[in-house]
């Protein structure tokens, strides 16, 4: 099975900051990677698929990049509603595992 | 607008079978474009994919749970279901159902889970 790691596990940031989260796969997954945002008590929300394609309705301050084994999610200017936990997921092969998550907290 | 809703007992005894149903509304479960999946999240932990099913009944399961999991579909009711046998406290979690779909980007077709239910909490305890 493909394993995903995320760094950092926890990130403290301020409104307006540029934030970058990294997801690494144990083997190449081309661009078969999605990013999700989850707020406490809520279901995950799809942000990005195909590593860099923004889901409809997601603000343009979110962007994704990478291919192969290393991927990044960037929030260009952190907004109050962006404080949440972010997960990557590989969909290159079964099982479509999730990364362990990165919690973005208020500094 | 497509909506998914999980339902089932919130409390299950150890060694028994957890049974949940996901009802799809606002669209057909029988579309050839979609797989339907179950994901769970133990308290304070990350997301774990459990398995997926196609409307024809074709399934994929997480190898770590495969011996205990059965996912089925009832197209007449627009529902799919999860059964997890021999549960222990480690199976206590919020269980989500979700739709897997895909999109063509340049040359390739990429998958993602775009519609999720709100989740249902299942506690395993005597």
User: Given CB atoms, is A34 within the 8 Å cutoff of chain B?
Assistant: yes
pLDDT tens-digit map of A30-43: 999 999 999 999 99
pLDDT of residue B38: 98
pLDDT tens-digit map of A6-55: 999 999 999 999 999 999 999 999 999 999 999 999 999 999 999 999 99
> How far off is chain B from A18, nearest CA to CA, in Å?
24
DSSP readout, A65-82? Answer: EEETTEEEEEESS--GGG
- pLDDT at residue B72 greater than cutoff 90: yes
User: Given CB atoms, is B113 within the 8 Å cutoff of chain A?
Assistant: yes
Dist CA B42 CA A8 (whole Å): 21
Cβ distance A95 to B62 less than 8 Å, yes or no, reads yes
């Amino acid at each position: 099975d493909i394993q995903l790691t995320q760094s950092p596990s926890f990130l403290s940031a301020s409104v307006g900051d540029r934030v970058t989260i990294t997801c690494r796969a144990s083997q190449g997954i081309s661009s078969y990677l999605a990013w999700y945002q989850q707020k406490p008590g809520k279901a995950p929300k799809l942000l990005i698929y195909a590593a860099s394609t923004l889901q409809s309705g997601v603000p343009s301050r979110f962007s994704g990049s990478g291919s192969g084994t290393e991927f990044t999610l960037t929030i260009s200017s952190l907004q109050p509603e962006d404080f949440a936990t972010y997960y990557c997921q590989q969909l290159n092969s079964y099982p479509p595992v999730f990364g362990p998550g990165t919690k973005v907290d208020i500094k | 607008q497509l909506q998914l809703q999980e339902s089932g007992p919130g409390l299950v005894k150890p060694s028994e079978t957890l049974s949940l149903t996901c009802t799809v509304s606002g669209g057909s479960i029988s579309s050839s474009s979609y797989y339907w999946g179950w994901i769970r999240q133990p308290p304070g932990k990350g997301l774990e994919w459990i398995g997926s099913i196609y409307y024809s009944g074709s399934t994929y399961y997480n190898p770590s749970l495969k011996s205990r999991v059965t996912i089925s579909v009832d197209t007449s009711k627009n529902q799919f279901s999860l059964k997890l046998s021999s549960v222990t406290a480690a199976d206590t979690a919020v269980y989500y159902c979700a739709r897997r779909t895909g999109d063509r980007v340049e040359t390739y077709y990429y998958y993602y889970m775009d519609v999720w239910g709100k989740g249902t909490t299942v506690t395993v305890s005597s």
